[in-house]
């Protein structure tokens, strides 16, 4: 009888071990499947987030920069001599009375500097190498430098090329 009990215990133990191994094996498989699915979702959604972010950024640029269809945004630095030349020219020629311009100082205002960076990126420019004076036009064009900005603003204001000169009588260069 003892042998029978012993053999029954051995059989029950072996069955229990097989069942435990089977349960462990199934658990490991389920954990691996769950990890695989989570990885697929995580890595699969990375590209979609970039595209969505790119679309959102372009919408933000449009919303931020397009104050109106007629408004240009003039980005300048408060200690920039070229910016001062453009501002002086605009004042002398009463440009702000003729066209809508929003002025945004970028040296001391981080929000304006970020907006300048977005504007440059929207024009395909490297935001790390742009400078001021910088004009973002209602047409979505980016102009950098005194001559280009004065020329654009003068044309928009209906001025002839003769009137697009600075106080000294010649166009200011960068």
| Of 75, 107, 83, 98, residue with least CA distance to 172 | 83
DSSP run (H or E) holding 142 = strand 142-144
Can you say whether the dihedral through the CA atoms of 11, 17, 21, 27 is positive or negative?
positive
Q: Which residue has the higher pLDDT, 22 or 65?
A: 22
| pLDDT tens per residue, range 139-148 | 999 999 999 9
Instruction: Give the alpha-carbon dihedral of 103, 133, 145, 116, to 10 degrees.
Output: -90
Q: Which CATH number fits domain 68-163: 3.30.300.130, 3.40.980.10, 3.40.30.10, 3.90.950.10?
A: 3.40.30.10
Residue 92: what pLDDT? 96
Give pLDDT, residue 56. Answer: 46
Q: Is the pLDDT of residue 131 over 70?
A: yes
Which residues, listed in sequence order, are joined to residue 142 by a DSSP beta bridge? 136
Residue with tokens 């280009």: 148
- Residue 83: its pLDDT value, please? 97
The percentage of the chain sitting over the pLDDT mark of 90, rounded to a whole number, equals 47
136 CB contacts (<8 Å, ≥6 apart)?
Answer: 65, 72, 73, 75, 119, 123, 142
Q: Kindly report, residue by residue over 17-42, the tens digit of the pLDDT.
A: 666 677 787 888 877 778 877 776 76
CA 148/CA 77 separation, integer angstroms = 17
Residue 84's pLDDT band (boundaries 50, 70, 90)?
very high
pLDDT band at 50 (very low <50, low <70, confident <90, very high): very low
pLDDT band at 97 (very low <50, low <70, confident <90, very high): very high
């Amino acid at each position: 009888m003892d042998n029978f009990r012993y053999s029954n215990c051995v059989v029950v133990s072996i069955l229990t071990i097989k069942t435990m191994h089977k349960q462990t094996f199934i658990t490991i498989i389920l954990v691996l499947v769950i990890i695989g699915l989570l990885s697929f979702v995580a890595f699969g959604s990375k590209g979609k987030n970039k595209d969505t972010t790119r679309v959102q950024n372009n919408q933000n640029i449009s919303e931020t920069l397009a104050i109106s269809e007629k408004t240009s945004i003039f980005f300048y630095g408060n200690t920039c001599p070229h910016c001062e030349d453009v501002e002086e020219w605009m004042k002398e020629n009463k440009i702000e009375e003729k066209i809508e311009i929003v002025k945004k100082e970028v040296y001391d205002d981080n929000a304006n500097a970020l907006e300048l960076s977005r504007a440059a990126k929207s024009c395909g420019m490297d935001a790390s190498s742009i400078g001021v004076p910088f004009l973002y036009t209602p047409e979505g064009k980016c102009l950098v430098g005194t001559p280009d900005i004065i020329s654009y603003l003068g044309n928009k204001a209906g001025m002839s090329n003769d009137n697009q000169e600075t106080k000294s009588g010649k166009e200011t260069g960068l």
